[in-house]
Structure formats: structure tokens, C-alpha cells
Copies of this chain bind each other. A is one copy, B any other.
């Protein structure tokens, strides 16, 4: 793919990813954009041993603009969007309202307990625009386009992993107003984080425990057993399998694993990228056929940390939804939000059966 790197008027980077070397992206973004003075910070909670990010400037971010003001559509004469070109293929750019920033400043007047530490929330938040077509769903993209999105994710993972201070690269897609999505144009995000996320830390600890006790890779073992048992498998092909984990927390939850242990998206072969694309589309099309409306979902890429424990990690995608019936949502109330006790009103076997029996 051809990459064309541009700079937006406020200094942010924008990258056009195009399928053909001959395509030229030269339209200059002439908008006058205010400097946002973004200085998010992060604080380490000594009770839970987790960093918490604070980004108070984000209260001002764009909320559900009307379609003719979509900031992710190509620019037109009367709508200068984030993307200056009149058409595009796939675009990545730095979020205008990021939770992590290259700016570094801390308000020195704030006093905190000595057991708590504070640092600028250094990092990078990117938007990945999957297509110029405002009304598409990811499940409606062509397999060829999905394959190119995988290439973009892989390229961003490699690039962002090389930035100083980045410990984990996290590509994800939030879809649906039910989970607070403010822009409907098909897009995902990538967070390049200055720490290994709490959930990844716990997963690595689990993998380490299993390797120490049994000498085996926990993720590979679970995948192999699920494939042998079959009851929770949604779909599979030569190099990937999609299944509902035996400990699913969400009303809909499907994990997609490559058969070969790979550390991150950049490590996937061309064949594995092709196979992921077809498998993921099959899964998403089933999910979008479950109910009258497309399913709200979160799709989260679990990649190895950039600098350590890479041998413990196993690249996979976790896809889950808050919708528990046609007209009911799962809420994270007292048990989940208060105590991290997950209660699933369904079983993994029921979820798998329902998704398998849904014809897209």
C-alpha cells in the first residue's frame, strides 16, 4: 500500500493509505483550527495497581454531528472535514480530542497522597477510517477492503511500537450509540499507550502461571481444546478460529484466534491476513443478522506488549456486545462495576448456538 503522510493545520498527522502507487494525495487542509493545549495526565492507583488517565479537555468533544457535518467524510466545498481530499480509500489521523498526547505538562499546584504517582499521559490516539462511504457497516465492507484494513492495523502497530515510551498498541472498534459512539461513520481507533494495560497485565500473569505450572501455552491450549470440543465454535478456516470462550462475560462474546501463535498484527502472514478477513466478515455478518438492528459491539485487539513478555502473549481479537435480547441491554452495575464480578444471563453454549443458527 502507498502511504502519504500529511500534516493537519494544528500539527496532527494524517496518513492516506492507498491501494495503488499512482494515487496522489496533495489537497492541503486549509482549515483554521484552534490549538487545544492538551495536557492529559495519568495517576497510578496504589490500591488497584493501575494507571488512570485524566483528560478533562475531552468534555468538549464533538457529539453526533448531523450527517452533512460528519468530520470523517471526504471534504466538500461546504464541509471542510478532518480529511481534506474529495475522496479516499483508508485514512489514519491523530484524534483531535485525544486521551493521550505528545504534550507534557502537569499542574504543579495539585497535591496528591504520597502513595499515588502522577505523570503526563504521554501517548497517541489515532482514528482509522475504514472507508469514505458514510453509511457502510464494517460487516458490509468487501473482503478485499477488510484485508487492507488489517494491513493498516499491522503498519500502525509497527510504527507506533517504534515511538519512544510506547508500551502497548491497542486497535479497537466501538460500534453503536448503545456504547456511546459519537460518530457513526465507519471507523476504529488505535491507542498507543505508555503502560501495559491492566487487563493485559492480568492475562500475561495467567499465561505465566500456566506455563510455570504446566509448561504449556495457555492460549494455545484453550484454542486447541475448544476446536476439539466444537460446541462453542462459531466458524473456522485454515488459519483462524472464532469461538465463544467457555467463560464468556458478555451476552454476546466471540474471540478470534490465529492457529499459529503470533505476537502482534505485524507478525501475521499474508495468508493469515486473508483468512482473518473472511472469518471476521462471516462472524460480523451473523451478528448483524441476530436482531433487527445491527448489533452494537466492541472489537478489541489483544497484542503483545511492545517491550516485554512478548513470548507470553497470543494475538487475538475479542468481540463482545452489551445487547442481551432484542430490546434489552446489559448494564455494568454494582456487581460488575463495583466488584468486577461478571454475571452472564446466558451461557457460552447458548450464545454459540444462537450465533451459529443465525443465517446472514
Total identical chains: 2
A347 in contact (CB, < 8 A): yes
Q: Which residue of B lies closest to A48 (CB)?
A: B202
Across the interface, A218 reaches (CB within 8 A) one of B47, B99, B221, namely B47
Q: Which residue of B lies closest to A344 (CB)?
A: B54
205-220 of chain A: CB within 8 A of chain B: 205-207, 209-210, 218-219
Interface size on A, residues (CB 8 A): 89
A191 in contact (CB, < 8 A): yes
Q: Which residue of B lies closest to A118 (CB)?
A: B246
A247 in contact (CB, < 8 A): yes
**Which among A205, A246, A320, A325 has the highest number of chain B CB atoms within 10 Å?**
A246
B229 touches A198 (CB 8 A): no
Query: What residues of B have a CB within 8 angstroms of the CB of A198 in the complex?
Result: 339-341
- Whole-angstrom distance between the alpha carbons of A210 and B114 in the complex? 12
Interface of chain A: mostly helix, strand, loop or mixed: mixed
Binary B-proximity of A329-359 (CB < 8 A = 1, otherwise 0): 1111111011111111111111000000000
- Whole-angstrom distance between the alpha carbons of A226 and B248 in the complex? 39
Query: What residues of B have a CB within 8 angstroms of the CB of A221 in the complex?
Result: 113-115
Query: What residues of B have a CB within 8 angstroms of the CB of A332 in the complex?
Result: 179, 332, 337
Query: What residues of B have a CB within 8 angstroms of the CB of A246 in the complex?
Result: 43, 112-113, 116
Query: What residues of B have a CB within 8 angstroms of the CB of A37 in the complex?
Result: none
- Whole-angstrom distance between the alpha carbons of A247 and B44 in the complex? 7
Q: Which residue of B lies closest to A335 (CB)?
A: B191
- Known A-B contacts: A46-B206, A59-B346. Give 10 more (CB < 8 A): A46-B222, A47-B202, A48-B199, A48-B206, A49-B209, A54-B343, A189-B334, A191-B341, A197-B340, A320-B337
